[in-house]
Chain A
Amino acid sequence: MIPSEAEAAIARQVAAAREPLLVRGAGTKFGMLRPVQAASEITTEGLTGITLYAPKELIISARAGTPLHEIESTLAEHGQHLIAEPPDLSLLLGTAANTQTLGGVVATNLSGPRRVAWGAMRDHVMGIRAVTGRGEVIHSGGRVLKNVTGLDLCKLLTGSHGTLGIITEITLKVLPAPEAVGTIAIPGLNAEQAVAVLSAALGSPYGVSGAAWLPAEAAARLPEPIAAGRSVTLIRIEDFATSVAYRTEKLRGELSAGEILDDTASRTLWRAVRDVRALPTANGDGIWRVSVRPSAGPGVLRAVEGATGYLDWGGGLVWLAGPANETTHRAIEAAARAAAGTWTLMHAPDSLRNAVDVVPPESAPLAAISRRVKGAMDPRGILNPGRIYSGL
């Protein structure tokens, strides 16, 4: 983690700013959460490049503006991968493909199907450099895999949507990419049946690393025609080829259902699941992401009239697309609340984004802590004001 002139320039720009700043990378996630009212913008696009890659130490560091695909291809050359499998939502959200940055994915803490077994982006951020709202450059964590020295500002900054600091450099833990991928696909289950099967699969000793259910309409959008007008339940196992062969067979036997998809089909399929291709492209519609305990996922899907969706993370992640209006949003809020879960408005016209709680509001005492933490990181309130919560 090395200081750079581009980072110093950002620090100077923040220190000199008198008006709110829109903090951005490639701008592929502008549509998430609330719109930011800002006089000018500050971009990490000039902060590019991998600064350290030590495959034998399972560590990669890169500046925040580095396109994610550059990092992914560098890792792939060494047989490694990003553990949390971050999605590319460009098709879903109608933004430019292959442009999202490492900083953008970390600032939004977006993870793919593997999250259910191997952790979220935030779990693999080992070190961070950032410019605070004071215009100071700070670091937290480092370039080693275990570190409990001081308060964990890596966790605080990851997923903070640029409201607490401008992330300038990130160090991630990476792992060897699996030699093989296999999938058990079971057609025709309803959501409750599917989540019971996914629960059994995730509760098996076979190291399941993907567990999704798609109703017929969503399954039809997948690149692999696997269920012919029926729903499909998907279970993924990644490991050495011999292990994948053994485990998929064993698990299919225990579940007494499904067909096994080969390595090529599995990779294509899970990439589509990762990138949320099973939802219709947003256009004018709203897109929501709800996280609940897995057994509550089917209830959330059913509770929202007029929306279409599917389940990932064993049932715990509900992706929804529907009319971008308050009625749909309130129904999703109510369903998430009823399941003691959480929601994120991923995409909608500004009018809706300004009118509703894009994430659950915090209780009064916690909201007071949020305000004080925001004040501690960004005392003048100039970094992405209002991005997550109105007035913060």
Chain B
Amino acid sequence: MITLPDPKPDVLARRDAVIAGLRAAVADAEGVIGDPISLKPYETDGLSAYRQMPLAVALPESTEEVAAIMRFCHANGVRVVPRGAGTSLSGGALPMADAVVVGLMRMNQILDINYADRCATVQAGVTNIGITNAVSDEGFFYAPDPSSQLACMIGGNVNMNSGGAHCLKYGVTANNLLGLKIVTVDGEILDIGGEHLDAAGYDWLGLLTGSEGQLALVTEITVRILRSPEGARAMLAGFASNEIAGACVDSIISSGIIPVALEFMDRPAIHACEAFAHAGYPLDAEAMLIIEVEGSVAEQDDLLARLSAICNRHNPMSLKVSRSVEESLAIWKGRKGAFGAIGRISPDYLCMDGVIPTSKLPDVLRRIQEMSDSYGLKVANIFHAGDGNLHPLIMFDANDPTSFHKAETFGAEILKLCVEVGGCLTGEHGVGVEKRDLMPFQFAEHELEQQRRIKSAFDPDWLLNPSKVFPLRAPAALPRAA
């Protein structure tokens, strides 16, 4: 159970003045929300087990308005929670009772597309898929593709350094950025990077990416856009055990082929997705790989033949190579619908996000199964096998507080296991509030202190996205009902 600190009573007492200050900063009268009914949609994000009504919500339409909001909040000691689409699975946008939510969803303009230099500049509230849609007519795309890409916003992607199924080849958000416009905690507007590669001086672009709103507000982003490959095609292979599928992944990587995607699903995930999507997944298999390659049709044929030969060396129970775009889409349909599929079995689930060295996969899956048995909670595992990012989906009953508590404890145990085998707490969802208290399992106290000092260099009064990422200093935290 995550504890939140008590709100500052003096800020709560000044609520009307804060709302008046925000109204002075935001031109549109509907751009500031103070009444409880309209605030309700902002009380949670993708980690919906936690809810907290914010003090107020501001919806700026320009970087200047964001700067005016920050000047006001800074001058008045008011804390700020930045928010994009609110899809964070780690509670990165969870409000605080004494904090203003600054929602950037109205800043949804594509400002510039520069095909000659292969970049686009967009506002923070443009959706991830919105960037690709804006450039797809010219055959380009924006590479990072988190599962929530229809809804999630690029500003949130930058703050969480989001990944996706295709980052083995194309990298994560940090690898696909050129520049940012940020607003500092005291309302200064700064340009970081630009349309060029590798700005000299300190790598602020890299430090800000994935900083979870701790350092500044991001209002504009210049991203790299890439030309789409000639085509892509997928295959799937089912195996009799997790060990065999893991060995097959090793063989693929050793062969020199870097598939554009290499996804692993365990038996519960296969069954859930097949029931939902009817994608033709092998129900007798213990583990399944989806492998995707890119290139011309002849190149795809060549790579898929090599991959089939590799899979065949590992005695697959089934092997299906797509012969068309439609068949590839069918293969992906189950995987992409995985969250919905789990949701059908169990309306409530926690989606974990650990990373492990890929060689540890069979071991880790075995131990997760043991935990599942001992907690009495079902779990399905989806794994970005190329880069070691493991997503256990823990199913629980939200109407039963004991069940939720068990699910959280189970999830924390999995993440501790990830660290223990040489991995980390989070590969793409971020620390947020969800994993905040687990940070001491990955970092020594003096290392956390060093990170806190960097935070203080940007945000000396700790007004930005409070109570996230860093463990609260005991004994400041008091228990609070979620």
Contacts and interface: CB of A to CB of B under 8 A. Distances in A.
B38 interface: no
A294 B207 contact: no
A365 B188 contact: yes
25 contacts: A120-B198, A138-B450, A146-B427, A147-B424, A148-B426, A153-B451, A155-B205, A156-B202, A160-B202, A202-B118, A203-B115, A240-B256, A242-B299, A291-B196, A291-B198, A293-B114, A316-B197, A317-B197, A340-B194, A341-B196, A342-B194, A359-B201, A365-B184, A366-B204, A369-B457
B386 to A, nearest CB: 8
Nearest to B421: A144
B286 to A, nearest CB: 21
Interface of A: 54-59, 79, 109, 111, 115-116, 119-120, 122-123, 132, 136, 138-156, 158-160, 164, 175-177, 179, 196, 199, 202-205, 207, 240, 242-243, 246, 250, 291-295, 313, 316-317, 339-344, 359-360, 362-363, 365-366, 369-370, 372-373, 375-377, 388-389
Interface stretch (B101-109, B341-349, B356-364, B398-406): B356-364
B116 A294 contact: yes
Find the residue from A57, A146, A155, A179 having the highest chain B CB count within 10 A: A146
A250 B253 CA distance: 28
Contact of A359 (B117, B200, B302): B200
Given A291-B199, A363-B190, A56 B211 contact: no
Contacts of B60: none
Nearest to A127: B424
Interface in B112-145: 114-119, 139-140
Contacts of B188: 365
B174 interface: yes
A363 B201 CA distance: 12
A279 B461 CA distance: 50
B48 interface: no
Given A58-B253, A205-B229, A293-B117, A370 B202 contact: yes
B254 interface: yes
A376 B199 contact: no
Find the residue from B119, B302, B429, B447 having the highest chain A CB count within 10 A: B447
Contacts of A388: 201-202
A205 B201 contact: no
Contact of A123 (B174, B199, B211): B174
Interface in B406-457: 422-431, 435, 439, 442-443, 446-448, 450-451, 453-457
A26 B476 CA distance: 48
A152 B455 CA distance: 11
A205 B139 contact: yes
Contacts of B230: 205
Nearest to B138: A203
A176 to B, nearest CB: 4
Nearest to A358: B200
Given A205-B230, A316-B196, A376-B457, 6 more contacts: A146-B389, A148-B210, A149-B425, A243-B299, A359-B200, A370-B202
Contact of B422 (A136, A143, A365): A143
B227 A203 contact: yes
Nearest to B422: A143
Nearest to B356: A144
Nearest to A58: B253
B200 A342 contact: yes
B250 interface: yes
Find the residue from B115, B214, B256, B384 having the highest chain A CB count within 10 A: B256
Contacts of A156: 202-203, 206-207, 454
A251 B431 CA distance: 44
A246 B258 contact: no
A377 to B, nearest CB: 7
B198 A136 contact: no
Interface string B172-195: 101100000000100010101011
Interface stretch (B24-32, B159-167, B316-324): B159-167
Find the residue from A152, A199, A360, A373 having the highest chain B CB count within 10 A: A152
Given A55-B254, A375-B457, A153 B197 contact: no
A144 B230 CA distance: 30
B387 interface: yes
A164 to B, nearest CB: 8
A142 B298 contact: no
B289 to A, nearest CB: 15
B228 interface: yes
A201 B194 CA distance: 22
Nearest to A292: B196
B197 A313 contact: yes
A142 B355 CA distance: 10
Contacts of B118: 199, 202-203, 294
Given A56-B253, A119-B175, A148 B117 contact: no
A58 B201 CA distance: 29
B206 A146 contact: no
Contact of B357 (A54, A155, A205, A376): A54
B207 A144 contact: no
B359 A146 contact: no
Nearest to B460: A372
Contacts of A116: 197
A360 B431 contact: no
A152 B174 contact: yes
B206 A152 contact: yes
